[in-house]
Amino acid sequence: MSAAQTDIRPDTAVRANPARDTWNVLTRELKPVVRDPFTLIFSLVQPLVFLGLFAPLLVGSSGQPVGETLQWFVPGVLVMIVLFGTGATGSNLQYEMMTGSHERTLVAPLARSSLLVGRALKEIAPIVVQALIIVLIAWPFGFTINVAGLVIGLALLAVFGIGLGSLSYTLALKTKDREWLFWGVQQTLIFPLLILSGMLLPLDEGPAWMQAVATVNPINWVVQAERALFAGDLGAMTVLWGWIAAVALAVVGLLVGIRAMRKSS
Amino acid sequence: MTNEPIIEARGLTKRFTVKKKTVEAVTDLTFQVARGELVAFLGPNGAGKSTSLRMLTTLIPPTSGTARVVGYDILRAPSDVRARIGYVGQLTSGSFSQRVRDELLSQGAFYGMSASAARTRADELIASLDLAPFATRSVQQLSGGQKRRLDIALGLMHAPPLIFLDEPSTGLDPQSRANLWQHIMDLRERYGTTVFLTTHYLEEADRYAERVMVMDKGRVIADDTAARLKANLAGDVLTFGFDSAADAERAVAVVATLTDREVRRDDAEVALTAPDGDELLPAAVRALDAAGIRVRRATGVPPTLDDVFLALTGRTLREAGEGEPTEEEETDAAADPTAAHTADAAAAVPAEKTGASR
């Protein structure tokens, strides 16, 4: 057989390598964003709406100075972007599952985890840009930030996003081509999680049962950790709890996600 | 190494559970494919073709049995198999939001190609599959035929020694289909790739495949070249027309001396089905002339693979495909009421069940 002689035959003995595969999945996912950066503009709108339309109300009702309110509110907005971005990302996979695109990646020699992690990280990359813009906008209004805290905070958001994104993909893998089911479950879960994280309004004034539920909401811990980090309180216990919550979510998300991915064909 | 079959399936069986009922989509599939062959799985929708392909490409594990593909066991070393095969599924492989060339480059990276090797290879495939005019367009903007050519390019990106194509030409207009086949034949000639495909288009299997495996209800019921299948199982249909039924009656005896096949008479017509009909036809006309019987009309119709399928199963391919769910409907197997009570349909539903990919 003269097959090999006419052609470049690459190393066909390639093996699954989670780190390299994740990088390759991530760069593939980012290509449409790079090709059409305009898509990012719209994803900026939502946080800006909250910053422009919600923060003034918060300032008014709390009676606190603007700078202090933003100090409390901005970290929550960043967590919210991640919540909405990675929480909805399963629908992209659902779309790829309805075409043959997902199936093609399953036949490729890729580590199954990379198909989840690479995709979830793709939602994080624009968030870094969004975070910097939001921080810059809030700056003139008296919002200050600890640079080390911001960097660690973004890393924490990435871990949190991988966990949430993996769960979103799991939901997509389970609901298959039933988009209504995916969105139904997603919307049913995301708003209680959002409100019970104390991200938009403080929970201190809420009833005891709400506070009790909020203590087991990992997003609540991530929000509190972000606030401490942005304020420069890097060694706070809440930071540790935030990391524990995010890592736990990522581990659970990846475990169920990889299982669902293996069963998905 | 080169003498080892590139595919060696041993007792591959796949059972699915649909509504608590177990149905066998593929039963005891055992066959070998040598390097460089072009093999087609032919059968109606729901015959188990796609399920077989999905097992061979490691997408789903067999219930029992196993296979060696490009030298590796699909169960014990699935990633070794994946690294060495190309697969083009039934649906569009490219992500709609991605650009054509970007998808090819990503595919190269997935298979461990260096960036420069991937660029060279992508441009080569873009040229040979006529994708150049829309290489920077997004997949969404491509026509059906263009999408399919991209699918083929993606499957060939890492120059696999073996490529699986699941219904590569379904849904294409005749011209795009002919065009696609030209590409497949060209690439095969150039790279010596072993091609294993499924189709329910008879003409396609007939015209292009060197070897046809006829599949029905989860089993391979025939495996040979199209020409031999037709000669052995179907044969040409020869029809002779005469002036009167009496002439026809005399002709039966004359024609019967030339063949061991059954010669039938219907009024003033005589018909028979036989291999080598193209030789038998003039011989019969000469013999009838010599016997003083005037032949008014003589026709010889070569067989199609549909005749082969009819001879094997008693149904035509079209009949066999009717009333069974098409490949687009399968995922909702559990919700499909026809799946529950008709045995054939129930067998067909999971046969092509693709799980998450739909």
Query: What is the per-residue DSSP string for B226-255?
Result: HHHHIIIII-EEEEEE-SSHHHHHHHHHHH
Would the CB atoms of A107 and B87 count as touching at under 8 Å?
yes
- Closest chain A C-alpha to B47 CA, distance in angstroms: 19
Find, among B71, B41, B85, the residue nearest to B223 by Cα.
B41
Per-residue pLDDT at A251 = 93
CB contact under 8 A, B357 and A32: no
Q: Which pLDDT belongs to residue B43?
A: 86
Residue B75 has a CB neighbour count (10 Å cut-off) of 14
Asked whether the beta carbons of residue B83 and residue A106 sit closer than 8 angstroms, the reply is no
Confirm if B218 and A29 have CB atoms less than 8 A apart: no
Q: How confident is the model at residue B27 (pLDDT cuts 50, 70, 90)?
A: very high
Closest CA to B293 of B237, B238, B259, B243: B243
Nearest chain B residue to A179, by CA: B358
Q: Do A99 and B99 touch (CB under 8 A)?
A: no
Calculate how close chain B gets to A110, using CA atoms only, in Å: 7
Which residue among A8, A28, A98 places its CB closest to the CB of B106? A28
Give the residues across from B198 on adjacent strands.
Answer: B41, B166
Residues from chain B contacting residue A6 (CB–CB below 8 Å): 190-192
Contact present, A15 and B167 (Cβ < 8 Å): no
- pLDDT score of B108: 94
Q: Is the pLDDT of residue B325 over 60?
A: no
Chain B: give the shortest CA distance to residue A78, in Å. Answer: 26
Output DSSP code: residue B99: B
Query: d(Cα A145, Cα B54) in Å, to the nearest integer?
Result: 53
A14–B58 CB contact, under 8 Å: no
Alpha-carbon distance B187 to B206, whole Å? Answer: 19
- pLDDT tens for A236-264 read 889 999 999 999 999 999 999 988 887 77
Question: Is the pLDDT reported for residue B189 higher than 90?
Answer: no
This prediction's pTM? 0.80
Percent of chain B with pLDDT over 90: 44
Average pLDDT of chain B to the nearest whole number:
83
| β pairing state of B211-216 and B38-42 | parallel
pLDDT in tens, B29-49: 999 999 989 999 988 888 889
Sign of CA dihedral A208, A210, A211, A215: positive
Taking CA atoms, what residue in B is nearest to A103? Answer: B357
Closest C-alpha among B75, B58, B31, B48 to residue B347: B48
CA of A76 vs chain B CAs: smallest distance (Å): 31
- Name the residue in chain B with its Cα closest to that of A27: B106
The values of phi and psi at residue A11, to 5°, are -65, 95
Q: Does the beta-carbon distance from B106 to A106 stay under 8 Å?
A: no
Tell me which residue has tokens 């046809």: B212
What are the contacts of B181-190 at 24+ separation with CB within 8 A? B181/B207, B181/B208, B183/B128, B183/B129, B183/B130, B183/B149, B183/B152, B184/B152, B184/B208, B186/B128, B187/B128, B187/B152, B187/B156, B188/B38, B190/A6, B190/A7, B190/B128
Write the residue in A9, A32, A97 that is nearest to B357 by C-beta: A97
**Residue B1, pLDDT above cutoff 60:** no
- Give yes or no for a contact between B58 and B74, defined as CB atoms under 8 angstroms apart: yes
Helices B115-128 and B100-110 cross at an angle (nearest 10°) of: 130
ipTM over 0.95: no
